[in-house]
Structure 1
């Protein structure tokens, strides 16, 4: 007869770390957006839309970030996507963070510092993206829209994502958003950079273990 040893029913899920990582990532994401705005060399693709809406209709970029995120989140309903706490937090926190950062970051006029802002914004955005995705508490509303469309239409991730971002960039540019070299740099560079940081910043997933484990099994 096997001797039974007590073992925890479930390993710790590291929720405090995941929540901390989520909100640090979202705050840094908002800061990275503000760095692109202050560079005046172009903004991230979705921010071309946010900036265009802000210039055309008023309100701040952060306010439009929240409004657009909420509208996109409503688009999850027919796609039957399920938001998590990270999804809702993404809608609210990033918009507040970019407005707070823009309130303290001064305008920059010399070209060299503006290029530096783009480089810093790109690197910071990659780290921030890896942080909030790696927390595994739900995708951002725009990411969920993409994956939902991929699942429902059977299209490729590359085609669906490119189509969405081209559409929002063109609409934002028509409304007065800043489309520039930094927009292209972001589009080309963000994927490889996130791929570097994401494995290092993803919180490991713990699996449940049996309540009792035979001693000879553990010894083996």
Structure 2
């Protein structure tokens, strides 16, 4: 009987998650109401220095990997750079694809675009988390700060987000009401989708004959 390696399923979650996540990020950027703190910084760097938003995803991600390694006094997790690279490529692809046909002009259209982007990016994160490998540099920095300060995850994430917003503001990033909406609602939506993704994973595990590498 044909057997599906568990790592193949994880790769599927990882790839699909990044595709969905980057589509959501691009929609929030296109909404013109503000992106997440991290993505707002990427837009600001793009507006200030050129290159592309996706290129700055890779550059900032690499910088975070180095900072994390210094803070933890350990070797850099260069596998995390894979996540930044694929995310950067995905953002550029979707932003380029949406130009010309997703350009909301009215306030209602902008909010619809923002909320749709929020839902899609949250779904992508939930799917990606199911893969459980190649950590996102931002999430790793959150865990590093928690380890160094003793703060919980929520406070650690909030501190990093505030710093990112301040830097994004300095570079003229995509900060707006959408940034606040994403910061407040994304965790709730991600948690909601994770329940369904866990259920889907359980269903696939039962339906597909799987094996684990030793």
The bucket for the TM-score relative to the shorter chain is 0.7 to 0.9
How far off its partner does 1:81 sit?
7.6
Select 1:134's aligned residue among 130, 133, 136: 130
Residue pair 1:147, 1:157 contacting (<8 A) in 2 also: yes
Equivalent residue for 1:14?
6
Select 1:46's aligned residue among 26, 38, 41: 38
Summarize the Cα distance change of 1:77–1:207 in structure 2 as closer, same or farther, 3 Å threshold. Answer: farther
Cα distance in 2 between the residues matched to 1:68 and 1:155? 24
Compute the TM-score of the two structures, normalised by the length of structure 2.
0.84
Question: Aligned ranges for residues 147-162 of structure 1 at < 5 Å?
Answer: 147-162=143-158
Give deviations 1:123-175, integer Å, cap 9, x for gaps: 00111000111111132110011101211222222222111110111111121
Residue pair 1:173, 1:179 contacting (<8 A) in 2 also: yes
How far off its partner does 1:112 sit?
2.1
Cα distance in 2 between the residues matched to 1:82 and 1:133? 21
Summarize the Cα distance change of 1:83–1:197 in structure 2 as closer, same or farther, 3 Å threshold. Answer: farther
Aligned pairs, how many? 197
Residue pair 1:72, 1:145 contacting (<8 A) in 2 also: yes
Equivalent residue for 1:197?
193
How far off its partner does 1:14 sit?
1.4
**Greater share of residues in helix:** 2
How far off its partner does 1:62 sit?
0.9
Cα distance in 2 between the residues matched to 1:35 and 1:175? 21
Select 1:63's aligned residue among 49, 55, 58: 55
Cα distance in 2 between the residues matched to 1:122 and 1:81? 34
In structure 1, stretches of 5+ residues that fail to align are 1-10, 209-220
Cα distance in 1 between the residues matched to 2:119 and 2:75? 30
Compute the TM-score of the two structures, normalised by the length of structure 1.
0.82
Would you identify which runs of 4 or more consecutive aligned residues in structure 1 move more than 3 Å? 80-85, 202-208
Equivalent residue for 1:216?
none
Residue pair 1:84, 1:137 contacting (<8 A) in 2 also: no
Q: Which is greater in Rg?
A: 1
Question: Aligned ranges for residues 168-207 of structure 1 at < 5 Å?
Answer: 168-202=164-198, 203=201
Cα distance in 1 between the residues matched to 2:141 and 2:211? 28
In structure 2, stretches of 5+ residues that fail to align are none
Give deviations 1:26-80, integer Å, cap 9, x for gaps: 1111111110111101111101111111111111111111110111111221214
Cα distance in 2 between the residues matched to 1:84 and 1:130? 22
Give deviations 1:176-205, integer Å, cap 9, x for gaps: 112111111101101111111113324569
Residue pair 2:20, 2:120 contacting (<8 A) in 1 also: yes
Cα RMSD of the aligned pairs, angstroms, is 2.3
Cα distance in 2 between the residues matched to 1:81 and 1:199? 34
